[in-house]
Amino acid sequence: MSAQALTGEMLEQEVMNSRSTVLIDFWAEWCGPCRMIAPIIDEIADMNLANVKVFKVNVDSEPELAGKFGIMSIPTLVVMKCGKRIATAIGVKSKQDIINMLV
């Protein structure tokens, strides 16, 4: 199961009110580095880590959602826990670096 698309309608239930750790990948189809990191994000989603949800936000189709998170460049990874941002990373990161953000 790869990362699920996150929409503005899902934000409250899936992210802000979630007790799970939530990884959000902000990306766009035209972004080369985003395409480089996409398989890593899907691998992490497929790992089914305990209490971790993985979502992707296409900044072109969800600009309001990207704005709520203050996304200025992509790819940007945001880790949320109990409705609070606990980590942010901009650019391509290794699988292990991303997993380290989650724990």
Closest Cα partner for 102 from 14, 22, 10, 2?
22
Strand 84-90: give its sheet, edge to edge: 4-5, 52-58, 21-27, 76-81, 84-90
Please enumerate in sequence order all residues whose Cβ is within 8 A of that of 69, keeping only pairs 6 or more positions apart, or say none: 24, 26, 76, 78, 85
Rounded distance between C-alpha atoms, residue 83 and residue 18, angstroms? 7
Q: Report yes or no on whether pTM surpasses 0.85.
A: yes
* Catalytic residue positions, numbered: 31, 34
Per-residue pLDDT tens over the stretch 36-68: 999 999 999 999 888 999 999 999 999 999 999
Query: Under DSSP, is residue 94 helix (H, G, I), strand (E, B) or coil?
Result: coil
Range of the domain at 21: 4-102
Total domains in the fold of the chain: 1
Rounded distance between C-alpha atoms, residue 102 and residue 14, angstroms? 16
